Amino acid sequence: MQLNMLKGKIHRATVVQAELDYVGSITIDEDLMEASGILEYEKVQIVDVNNGQRFETYVIAGEAGSGMICLNGAAARNVSVGDKVIIMCYCQMSPEEVSANPPRVVFVDNDNKIARVTRYEKHGLLKDME
């Protein structure tokens, strides 16, 4: 049996751009992708903290160190520049793999630079990554 589990999350990033005239996707700073374990072209779920919208799209890598969080195409209609979003990716794991692979959580500052990288532990507690 395979379970669909949270793999990684970028927590409360700021939307820098929203571009309607573009093929649908989200462009994410490559440093944030690497820290969270999100891969280019991977499907992600996005939650807009400001308006409550929840939607899915796929990821395009943005320039490393740019702080880029840009919703493109139809996804741009769900956010406004300046909104805070949570970006989550999932993977399938066996029940045995779940405890050995807690999700990564990347916290960012107001410029979308990495402030802290943690892993979820039991009962939702966070443990800083070494």
Q: d(Cα 64, Cα 21) in Å, to the nearest integer?
A: 23
Catalytic residue among 22, 58, 90, 120: 58
Antiparallel, parallel or unpaired: β 114-120 and 126-128 = antiparallel
Catalytic residue status for 99: no
Q: d(Cα 16, Cα 69) in Å, to the nearest integer?
A: 5
**Which uninterrupted H or E stretch holds 111?**
none
Token pair belonging to 13: 């990033």
Active site residues: 25, 58
